[in-house]
């Protein structure tokens, strides 16, 4: 066979070096086992379980969360041709009136003859949907103005983050401050672009908060190495850590970024997922307003949100947005060019984003049922957060901070020295070996903490709490039983 022109030696090497832990080694192994279980479902299996419990990624509907009814009704009516949808003579017998009216409104906004959702939109997203988002942001932030022209609707928050990092990493001397631990899209994209990852450590014993002393030290250390640090990532509520930062911590971070002329990337996709009654989400934009930075035009801020999280869990729709605050007009134009190269984000995702930020109004036919469905999802997530964080924290050898928000727990796990030696012999991290063992013994698929970054000598994993409450109770029990067996093996 002739040697291929494009091969692993000739391809872009930074792509080879890029790693994305939430779909890494353990998940690949889980998919192989899943296929074996499906193939051999009517015969004896070599595994002591009959299915994989995927707790590796925040993908709610893949593990049983039901879609909310009203948004799907509206989206279905928008997608259907008028004659069999909004103008069907029996439409009001099949759909609530407010869903029909919202679908008609959306189709009018889309234009293109009968308002087809199959046509390209403006590259920043349809203006009607951007106006809905702007109103949502203004209401959330107590009236702080939001200009729809400063919004980009994107294929989830991930695409928006990619756009911004492409603009920031001008050369191989540029660096971005990222939390440790962090969501791997940041480290992976920085590796791909050839940028520097400048980690700032979150304090696990202080509920994954950060201190100004730590931030100043991380920044100065990077500068001493000749890195041009031009940006800062904040994930709040936290992924993978589940913390919700207090207001003063958020204010400190916006002041820190303004002081050092750092562009702030505020990942706020879990803003609806706050379970601790003593915590609340506080946006970086509102913090910038409250500290006077907005008035002085002293902050450069990108804020991100998504339909994938919250209570919608519509990951596959790829809906999300970013807001530009205090960003240079020329950079805005170049980001528009970058978005234009992909023509537009998915229109179904744009519609779902609009429906997320603007639901039925009080008094509408669907209002009470929609709010009840949202509340049921939220309250179950709140219960699951406690089931998992408390359950893991009660396992001997585990320590797990309470999940104040988001969809994850990030426990530390004491791994015996002999297991660490065995992992070194295998050429993998100790927590990777641990997670593969957990998968093979229980069918529970988690992500090694090493994929998110952590202090030297710490081991653990990230797990979601998205499967059902009953399933998560079983998962916690299985994790405990596996840990006792694993420790006994390597004692």
Q: Which helix (H) or strand (E) element contains residue 234?
A: strand 228-235
> What are the structure tokens assigned to 53, written together?
């419990």
> How far apart, in whole angstroms, are the C-alpha atoms of residue 123 and residue 335?
10
What pLDDT does residue 112 have?
A: 66
What pLDDT does residue 122 have?
A: 92
> How far apart, in whole angstroms, are the C-alpha atoms of residue 74 and residue 92?
13
> What are the structure tokens assigned to 270, written together?
């879990």
What pLDDT does residue 113 have?
A: 61
> How far apart, in whole angstroms, are the C-alpha atoms of residue 313 and residue 311?
6
Q: How far is CA 8 from CA 5, 65, 427, 428, in A?
A: 10, 39, 21, 22
Q: How far is CA 129 from CA 21, 342, 464, in A?
A: 33, 19, 31
> How far apart, in whole angstroms, are the C-alpha atoms of residue 1 and residue 38?
35
What pLDDT does residue 5 have?
A: 86
Tally the C-alpha atoms within 13 A of residue 77's C-alpha that lie toward its C-beta: 27
Tally the C-alpha atoms within 13 A of residue 393's C-alpha that lie toward its C-beta: 12
> How far apart, in whole angstroms, are the C-alpha atoms of residue 405 and residue 241?
9
Low-confidence ranges of the chain (pLDDT < 50): none
What pLDDT does residue 53 have?
A: 96
How does pLDDT run across 102-159, given as a tens digit for each residue?
999 999 999 866 778 888 899 999 999 999 999 999 999 999 999 999 999 999 999 9
> How far apart, in whole angstroms, are the C-alpha atoms of residue 484 and residue 491?
10
Three-class secondary structure of residue 97 per DSSP: helix
Quickly count helices (H) and strands (E) in the chain.
Answer: 18, 14
Residue 213's Cβ-count burial label (10 Å; 0-12, 13-18, 19+) is exposed
How does pLDDT run across 5-56, given as a tens digit for each residue?
889 888 888 888 777 666 678 999 999 999 999 888 777 778 989 999 999 9
> What are the structure tokens assigned to 418, written together?
């002999």
> How far apart, in whole angstroms, are the C-alpha atoms of residue 49 and residue 54?
13
> What are the structure tokens assigned to 380, written together?
């179950």
Its pTM surpasses 0.85? yes
């Amino acid at each position: 066979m002739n040697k291929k022109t494009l091969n692993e030696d000739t391809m872009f090497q930074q792509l080879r070096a890029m790693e994305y832990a939430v779909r890494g080694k353990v998940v690949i192994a889980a998919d192989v086992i899943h296929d074996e279980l499906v193939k051999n479902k009517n015969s004896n299996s070599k595994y002591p379980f009959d299915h994989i419990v995927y707790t590796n990624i925040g993908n709610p509907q893949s593990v049983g969360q039901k879609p909310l009814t009203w948004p799907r009704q509206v989206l279905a009516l928008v997608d259907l041709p008028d004659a069999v949808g909004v103008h069907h003579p029996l439409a009001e017998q099949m759909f609530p009136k407010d869903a029909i009216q919202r679908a008609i409104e959306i189709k009018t906004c889309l234009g293109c003859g009968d308002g087809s959702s199959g046509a390209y939109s403006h590259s920043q997203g349809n203006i009607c949907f951007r106006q809905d988002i702007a109103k949502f942001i203004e209401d959330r932030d107590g009236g702080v103005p939001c200009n729809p022209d400063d919004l980009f609707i994107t294929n989830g928050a991930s695409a928006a983050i990619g756009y911004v990092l492409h603009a920031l990493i001008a050369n191989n001397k540029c660096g971005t401050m990222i939390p440790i631990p962090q969501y791997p899209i940041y480290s992976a994209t920085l590796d791909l672009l050839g940028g520097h990852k400048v980690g700032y450590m979150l304090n696990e014993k202080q509920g994954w908060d950060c201190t100004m002393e730590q931030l100043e030290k991380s920044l100065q250390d990077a500068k001493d190495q000749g890195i041009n640090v031009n940006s800062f990532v904040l994930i709040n509520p936290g992924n993978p850590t589940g913390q919700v930062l207090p207001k003063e911590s958020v204010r400190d971070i916006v002041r820190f970024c303004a002081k050092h002329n750092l562009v702030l990337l505020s990942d706020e996709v879990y803003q609806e997922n706050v379970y601790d009654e003593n915590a609340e989400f506080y946006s970086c934009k509102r913090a910038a307003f409250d500290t006077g930075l907005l008035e002085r035009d002293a902050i450069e801020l990108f804020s991100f949100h998504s339909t994938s999280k919250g209570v919608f869990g519509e990951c596959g729709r790829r809906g999300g947005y970013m807001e530009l605050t205090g960003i240079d007009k020329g950079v805005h134009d170049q980001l528009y060019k970058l978005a234009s190269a992909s023509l537009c984000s998915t229109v179904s995702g744009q519609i779902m984003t609009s429906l997320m930020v603007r639901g039925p109004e009080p008094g509408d036919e669907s209002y009470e049922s929609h709010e009840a469905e949202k509340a049921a999802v939220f309250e179950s997530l709140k219960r699951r957060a406690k089931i998992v964080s408390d359950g893991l924290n009660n396992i001997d050898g585990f320590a797990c901070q309470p999940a104040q928000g988001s969809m994850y727990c990030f426990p530390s796990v004491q791994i015996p020295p002999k297991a660490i030696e065995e992992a070194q012999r295998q050429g993998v991290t100790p927590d990777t070996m641990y997670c593969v063992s957990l998968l093979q013994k229980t069918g529970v698929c988690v992500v090694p903490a090493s994929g998110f970054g952590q202090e030297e000598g710490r081991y653990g994993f990230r797990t979601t709490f998205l499967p059902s409450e009953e399933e998560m109770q079983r998962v916690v029990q299985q994790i405990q039983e596996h840990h006792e067996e694993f420790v006994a093996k390597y004692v």
